[in-house]
Amino acid sequence: MALFRKDITSFSDEELMVLLASKRRNEALTELHSRYAKRILGFFIRMFKGDQDKAQDFTQDLFLKVLEKHVQFNPEKKFYTWMYVIASNMCKTEFRKKPNLDLPENESIMSIPSKLNDNIVDKSLFHAELKKSIEQLEEYHQISFVLRYMQELSIKEIAEITEVSEGTVKSRLYYATKKVTSRLELFNPKNENDLFKIQ
């Protein structure tokens, strides 16, 4: 019974999931939301090309799904990995409904002057092009890339989330980083090989 008397902020994610079946359901969900809403919002923003309204809607929907599906959660597993499985599946479903269209060629990096200095304008252009590059990846490459480099999850965690082998994750990251860095060649970063380390 001690589990039900503890301060809510001292619970682990997995203990909070157990509480979703108790009278402290609302407290537990609110605490999970406070821990992960910002992070998962960032994931959806990346996946939906910066559409913040859509990302907000999906974030709220995700936590509703967490509440609805809490009985399916295995407390011996990590909560955030399970949460990203749901988020990833939500993205896949959405992408199937509406194809991810490529950007027009005239909006590519080739229109940017090549003699830019390493200043705030240069960095801003770099990040803008990086964003476009990520958006143009195939769905499964994009999910792996965002989970690895924006959400900083491990290869093992991404494999669990996407339900493929670690070798497949590494392969997807290899091709994704190759496509992204090829679009960033004009910036010629000194340590290009260190920008996106797969390991």
At position 136, the amino acid (one-letter code) is Q
pLDDT in tens, 90-137: 998 998 886 544 433 433 433 334 444 455 556 677 777 778 888 888
Other C-beta atoms closer than 10 Å to the C-beta of 98 total 7
Is 199 inside a domain boundary? Answer: no
Cβ-contact 50, 42 below 8 angstroms: no
φ, ψ dihedrals at 87, nearest 5°: -60, -45
CATH of the domain at 109: 1.10.10.10
Running DSSP on this structure, what letter comes out for residue 53?
H
Q: Which of 44, 64, 97 is the last residue of a domain?
A: 97
Cβ-contact 170, 164 below 8 angstroms: no
pLDDT of residue 150: 86
Rounded CA separation 30/36 (Å): 10
φ, ψ dihedrals at 176, nearest 5°: -65, -45
- Please provide the average confidence, as pLDDT, over all residues in the chain: 82
Running DSSP on this structure, what letter comes out for residue 77?
S
For residue 60, give both structure tokens: 């709220």
pTM of the complete model: 0.72
> 185 and 115 in one domain?
yes
Q: At what angle do helices 79-97 and 52-68 cross, to 10 degrees?
A: 130
Q: Which of 74, 97, 120 is the last residue of a domain?
A: 97
Q: Which of 49, 72, 97 is the last residue of a domain?
A: 97
pLDDT in tens, 162-184: 999 999 999 999 999 888 888 77
Range of the domain at 184: 105-194
> 70 and 39 in one domain?
yes
> 175 and 114 in one domain?
yes
H or E element in which residue 170 lies:
helix 166-183
Number of folded domains in the chain?
Answer: 2
Is 30 inside a domain boundary? Answer: yes
